[in-house]
Amino acid sequence: MPKGNLVVRLSDMTGALAKDRVKLEFRPVQGSPGAGGELMEVSINGPVGELTITGIHCQTGFGTLYEVRAETPHYRRYAFLQNILEKKTNKASDDVEFWVKPGDVKDIKAPAFDTLPKVVRDMCINATMIRDKEEDKDLLNLTGSALYKALGPMRKACLLNIVTKAGDKKTAAACLSEFRGLMISRQDRCFAFVTTELVGLLNNSSLFTSANNALHDPPPGFEKSTLGSFKSRDPHANLQVTFLREVQTNRLAADIDIDESSGIKHGFEVIKNAVLSHRTNPYLIREFLNAADFEGHSLSPDYQFVF
Domain layout of the chain by residue ranges = 3-98, 103-306
Check residue 113 and report its DSSP letter: G
Residue 1 pLDDT: 83
The predicted-structure confidence for 68-106, as pLDDT tens digits, reads as follows: 999 999 999 999 999 999 999 999 999 999 999 999 999
Q: How many residues does the chain have?
A: 307
> Average of pLDDT values for 147-159?
98
Q: How many CB atoms lie within 10 A of CB 225?
A: 18
> Average of pLDDT values for 36-61?
96
Strands (DSSP E) contained in the chain are: 3-12, 22-28, 40-44, 50-57, 64-71, 78-84, 89-91, 96-98, 107-109, 179-185, 190-194, 208-210, 222-232, 238-246, 252-259, 265-266, 269-270, 304-306
For residue 264, pLDDT beyond 70: no
For residue 267, pLDDT beyond 70: no
> H-type helices in 15-133, by residue range?
118-125
Instruction: Provide the pLDDT confidence category of residue 214 given band limits of 50, 70 and 90.
Output: confident
pLDDT > 70 fraction of the chain, expressed in percent and rounded: 94
User: CA-CA distance, 163 to 183, in Å (whole number)?
Assistant: 15
One-letter identity of residue 29: V
User: CA-CA distance, 139 to 128, in Å (whole number)?
Assistant: 10
Evaluate whether 279 touches 188 at the Cβ level (below 8 Å): yes
Q: In a 3-state reduction of DSSP, which class is residue 135? A: helix
* CATH no. for 3-98: 2.60.40.10
Instruction: Provide the pLDDT confidence category of residue 276 given band limits of 50, 70 and 90.
Output: very low
